[in-house]
Chains A and B, each alone.
Chain A
């Protein structure tokens, strides 16, 4: 295959690295609270614009922006839970109400961002050299994206396997009832899930914004891919999400080349995630590493 070259592999790893950051929070919330959080897209966008303030408005290095984006987006995640989802939980509202509310939150956050920064395209300010790598080219930015994402994956692995907090988080997401019965303070753990999941979405937004550009629809554009990753990986599965993120990254980058080889508009790129999503739902609705759910 002439178009399966080093460049596609590099691009796939970059895309996958970004998707991992976005999908981890989405999959954890999906598993624990059992609803698809559509406002996750706007956490991504919010993170990207937070870093923009630090990087462009204040003229600081984008790394500071990344760190601030993590904290502020994490806090926004907590705020959305405290202000809306927790109240719905305590009223015993259905999963459906939660999804509608998440749409509402998304609309408010996205349009507020558009009100402040306008619909125009913006860019971060940084320099990025290009290097040759085994016949493909890779930029310094790409190296950073891959390195940051990999480092965070290892940190999360450490968190989930070695720390009390991480084990409790996994316990809660594996079996909330059992976790509650065994004395874990579910609500407290949930705060951490929102903080870490939201914060990582913010980081995903910064990486995505650096890799492409900033627009108020930035998060919305990757939401479908993020859901495809979550469902392909199996809802709630951290390792499944990592694998699925790289698989989808590859499918999208390979697919775009395939589209242009077939003289189909590359504007259909988002359809690749959609087709994968439909195939997963048809063939393996519980994902590659998720647990099959059976009646009571």
Chain B
């Protein structure tokens, strides 16, 4: 288990957003997290990535308790996330966006003025890595465009690229294909699948069908609780799941 969530509770002003949530993610798998709106999926991603603190319960990454760490500390351990509403750096170019997410380059001031060689060398290495990923995602031709000039789908690809660039152990994808046309959505998941041998994915998604095709394991959430879990084929026929989706 690379990621383990244990009995996590989180409430906002008396409303329970997460209630006794536990789940585990195996290394080099794609795990899906589905559920209707307001079921607590994004809250759970926020808790794992440290943007929200748990009320009770624990989150373990590679056996280490990360529930009280700050977002950037969690990121440094090798957890990278994307956001439901794509958050890229609009005022930077695509390439710069990619370089930001490299965790090899440090923002140190010392090297900037006294060890420029090392900095420039690292920059070259990062640029090459960035081009490779942009190539892989087929948006390399946009590398010098401002991120804000990209289409919605291209922005989704860029944010996936940035997550890969960080080279994390696990990527938390929050609705990576929301608002994206089905062809591109399939392509994005194909890319994710290709990356599976290098890392693990936890994917929040509204679109169940696409998860069925690509996930190794699926958790279903409703009203802040995990109500079902299993392999895609087990979930497909599960009555609770059908209830959750049809009953609202």
Contact = CB atoms under 8 A, between A and B. Distances in A.
B46 interface: yes
Contacts, number: 8
A295 B87 CA distance: 15
What band does the interface of chain A fall in when counting residues whose beta carbon is under 8 Å from B? under 10
Contacts of A295: 46, 51-52
A130 B46 CA distance: 62
B113 interface: no
B23 to A, nearest CB: 21
Chain A interface mostly: loop
Interface string A269-296: 0000000000000000000000000111
A296 B42 CA distance: 9
Contacts of A296: 42, 46, 51
B201 to A, nearest CB: 22
Contacts of B51: 295-296
Contacts of B12: 294
Interface in B10-58: 12, 42, 46, 51-52
Nearest to B52: A295
Nearest to B53: A294
A231 B51 CA distance: 24
A99 to B, nearest CB: 19
Contacts of A294: 12, 52
B54 to A, nearest CB: 13
A294 B51 CA distance: 9
A296 B52 CA distance: 9
Nearest to A295: B51
Nearest to B85: A296
A295 B46 CA distance: 9
A295 B52 CA distance: 7
A295 B42 CA distance: 12
A296 B43 CA distance: 8
Nearest to A291: B13
Contacts of B42: 296
Interface of B: 12, 42, 46, 51-52
Q: Which 8 A-B pairs have the closest CB atoms?
A: A295-B51, A295-B52, A295-B46, A294-B52, A294-B12, A296-B46, A296-B51, A296-B42
Given A295-B46, A296-B42, A296-B46, 5 more contacts: A294-B12, A294-B52, A295-B51, A295-B52, A296-B51
8 contacts: A294-B12, A294-B52, A295-B46, A295-B51, A295-B52, A296-B42, A296-B46, A296-B51
